[in-house]
Amino acid sequence: MKTKIYNFLTKPYIVILTMLIAPLFGFIDRNFVFFFGLGIAFTILWASNFDWSKFGIGQKITRKTVLKSILITLAFFIGFSIIDPMLQHYLGDFDLSSVEDIRGNLAGYISIMIIMWIFAAFGEEFLFRGYYMKALAELLGNSNKAWLLSAIITSVYFGISHIYQGVVGMVSVFLWSLAISLLFNKNRNNLLLLVLIHGFGDTIGLTLIYLNKESFISEWIQQLF
C-alpha cells in the first residue's frame, strides 16, 4: 500500500496538480492552502519510510550551520530594511493585521513564536523548497537551469500565498523567497539551513512588532545612507 501511494504521489505531474489544486482551498480558509500541500508532502515522506533526504534534509544542524544562518539572516534583515521602505513608497504599507494582536501581548507573542517555528520556519521551507521547488526542478530536467526556473516559479507562488499582507507583502516575500531559494540551489541537501534563516528572520520581525518597533530599524538605516 505504501509503495503504491509513494509511486503515485511521486509521479512528475503530481506536484503541478498539488500547486494548482491547493489555492482552491483558499475559498474556505487561506490556511487550508498551506495544509493541503503540506499534507501531500508529508504523505510522500511517510510513504518513503521517512527518507528526509528526498526533501533536501541530508545534513544535520551543526555550529557552523547555525552561525552561517545567523549571518545570512542579519544580511537579509539589513538588506530588506532598505528594500522594503522603497517598495512601500510605491506599493503602500504592509498589512500586518494578522499579527497586530501580539503588540505588547507577551502570551500572544510566545504563542505565535512557537507556531511560527513549527509551521512557517519548518513547515513552509519543507513544503515550498523541500517539496515544490525540488520536485519542480526534477520535473523540468534537474539541470542548473531547471533549478533556477523552479526557484523563480516557487518564489512567485510563495509571494502570492502572502497576499494577505498586501501587494507590497507579496513583492517583498517574493524577493526574499527568491534569495533563499537560490541558497537552496547552491546546497540542495541542507534545507535545515533555510529553516533556521526563516525562523531567525521571522523571530526578529515578530519581536519588533511585539515591541511596536518594526519601522525603527529601517528608518535608522535610511538615515545612515
Whether 63 is in a domain gets the answer yes
pTM recorded for the entire structure: 0.93
Instruction: List, as one string, the DSSP characters of 174-202.
Output: HHHHHHHHHHHHH-TTBHHHHHHHHHHHH
Whether 119 is in a domain gets the answer yes
For 103-130, how does the pLDDT look when each residue is reduced to its tens digit (9 = 90+)? 999 999 999 999 999 999 999 999 999 9
- Residues lower than pLDDT 50 in the chain: 224-225
- In sequence order, the 6+-apart residues with CB closer than 8 A to the CB of 13 are 139
C-alpha cell at 54: 528526498
Note down the domain range covering 205: 53-224
Whether 46 is in a domain gets the answer no
- In sequence order, the 6+-apart residues with CB closer than 8 A to the CB of 24 are none
Report angle CA 165, 150, 13 to the nearest 5 degrees.
Answer: 105
Question: What pLDDT shows up at residue 17?
Answer: 97
Specify whether the CB–CB gap between 181 and 51 falls below 8 A: no
Question: What pLDDT shows up at residue 195?
Answer: 98
Whether 24 is in a domain gets the answer no
C-alpha cell at 76: 537579509
Whether 88 is in a domain gets the answer yes
Whether 7 is in a domain gets the answer no
Q: Which of 30, 16, 3, 21 is nearest to 150 (CA)?
A: 16
Whether 13 is in a domain gets the answer no
For 154-165, how does the pLDDT look when each residue is reduced to its tens digit (9 = 90+)? 999 999 999 999
Whether 47 is in a domain gets the answer no
Question: What pLDDT shows up at residue 220?
Answer: 56
Please tell me the total count of domains within the chain: 1
